[in-house]
Every structure is written in structure tokens, then in C-alpha cells.
Chains A and B, each alone.
Chain A
Amino acid sequence: GEDVEQSLFLSVREGDSSVINCTYTDSSSTYLYWYKQEPGAGLQLLTYIFSNMDMKQDQRLTVLLNKKDKHLSLRIADTQTGDSAIYFCAGELIFGAGTRLAVHP
């Protein structure tokens, strides 16, 4: 069946770049998404990329898509403590288990 896999944890120093990776099996999704969940809060759509694009940039966020390898990544430039959260990769219906990003001084 369809599956989305992510590494579970990432720790970065404040001011560094964070890269969160995701692999997926379903190639029929027209869009791929990144959501953010802060502690005790609901999921919030962060950004998305159309499946025929290979890159999308939105302020500090850069999404890279490699369709051949079915690999999606989210890069956060100049990571801040407020970026500490769980980040979920998702296709049209299926979500990954989430990557917990911890930002330390």
C-alpha cells in the first residue's frame, strides 16, 4: 500500500539550516505537502509542491522533489527556536510519522 517514511528526529543549532527528508511510494499524488505541528497544537499546512516541479522556495523554506527517487525534502534556513515542532510529509491522503525538530542554542 501507499507509504510515506521520514526520519524520526533531527537536532540542529540555532541559526543553522535544517533538512528534513521524506520518501514516498505513491507516485499518483499531484501535490506533496509539508505540515507543522507545534506542541499541544493542531497541524498547520506549511508549504506544498506540485508534482511536476523539482523545487519551490518560500522565504526560509525550500522544498526539493526528486520524482525519480520519490524523495522529498524540506530545508529551513536560519533555523530558530520557534521552528521546534514535528514536521509531517504527506501525499494526497497519506501522512508520514513525522520528524521532531529540536533547535538548541
Chain B
Amino acid sequence: DTGVSQNPRHKITKRGQNVTFRCDPISEHNRLYWYRQTLGQGPEFLTYFQNEAQLEKSRLLSDRFSAERPKGSFSTLEIQRTEQGDSAMYLCASSLKGGYGYTFGSGTRLTVV
């Protein structure tokens, strides 16, 4: 297993466009998390899944954001009608259920122009 994989590594998009990111977790991990990190800040929690069930969403997650994990394996994060304020590093992490900490991917850097 090569760890948590995120694609693409970088995405530049025009304001108003939709973007979709993909995360492939470590195969035996049943929990998958999405975070957003901006310069000089810690990761901000967005949402997490246990298997295919989305268990919690941050109030930061506006209705322009949606995440799925259809078969309990990979996950996608879609941002509709992107805004300049969406520019950030989007991080995916996975873990075994509870208490083992996260393994993070390298992130997808989004730039909205």
C-alpha cells in the first residue's frame, strides 16, 4: 500500500467553475476525512466518512461543497461555483476506527482565479 493518494496535486480553475478532487485511502482504513488548509493555519475539518456513511459535516461546508464515498473505498470532494475564497490546500486523511491518528495524503492545491 502506498499510503493515501490524492489527485490531482494541483488544480487551477476560473471562478464559477466546478471542481472535483479524488482521494484513495489506505485500503484497510474504514474512516476517511476531508480537511482544508490555508497558509499559516491548521487543517480545518470539513467532513468524514465511516465506510460509505457520511457521519459529520462542518458548518464550514456550504451547500456548494459535496463529498461522497460510494463504496466505502475512494472518496470525491466536489466544489460547485468556485469562489476565490475556496483557494486552499484540500487534504484527505484516513484512519482505522478511532484512536490511531490519521494518515494524510499530500493534498490537492486549488487556486481559483
A binds B: yes
Residues of A at the B interface (CB closer than 8 Å) are 4, 30-31, 33, 35, 41-45, 48, 50, 88, 90, 93-98
Bound complex: CA A35 to CA B42 (Å): 11
Closest residue of chain A to B46, judged by CB? A93
Contacts of B41 in A (CB 8 A): 97-98
> What 0/1 readout, one digit per residue, does chain B (84-111) give for beta carbons within 8 Å of chain A?
0000000101000011111111110000
Cβ–Cβ < 8 Å partners of A93 in chain B? 33, 45, 48, 56
Question: Which one of A45, A50, A98 contacts B42 once the chains associate, using CB atoms below 8 Å?
Answer: A98
Q: Which residue of A lies closest to B33 (CB)?
A: A93
Could you tell me the distance between the alpha carbons of A50 and B99 in the complex, rounded to whole angstroms?
Answer: 8
A4: which B residues are within 8 A, CB to CB? 42
Residues of chain B at interface, number, CB under 8 A: 22
Q: Which residues from chain A contact B101 at a C-beta distance below 8 Å?
A: 31, 33, 35, 45, 48
B23 to chain A, nearest CB (A): 13
Write 7 A-B pairs (CB below 8 A) sorted by A numbering: A31-B101, A33-B101, A35-B104, A42-B91, A43-B43, A43-B93, A95-B42
Contacts between the two chains (Cβ within 8 Å), count? 49
CB distance from B15 to the nearest CB of A (A): 27
Q: Residues 40-66 of chain B: 1 if any A CB is under 8 Å from the residue's CB, otherwise 0? A: 111111001000000010000000000
**A93 to B1 Cα, complex, angstroms:** 25
**B-chain residues with CB within 8 Å of residue A96 when the two chains form the complex:** 42
List, in ascending order, chain A residues with CB within 8 A of B35's CB. Answer: 95
A24 to chain B minimum Cβ distance, whole angstroms, is: 12
Residues of the A chain whose Cβ atoms lie less than 8 Å from the Cβ of B105? 42
Q: A42-B91, A42-B107, A95-B43 are in contact. Are A31 and B99 (CB under 8 A)?
A: yes
A88 to B107, CA, bound (A): 17
19 additional A-B pairs beyond A30-B99, A90-B42, beta carbons within 8 Å, are A4-B42, A31-B101, A33-B102, A35-B102, A42-B91, A42-B106, A42-B107, A43-B93, A43-B102, A43-B104, A44-B104, A48-B100, A50-B99, A88-B43, A93-B33, A93-B45, A93-B48, A93-B56, A95-B44
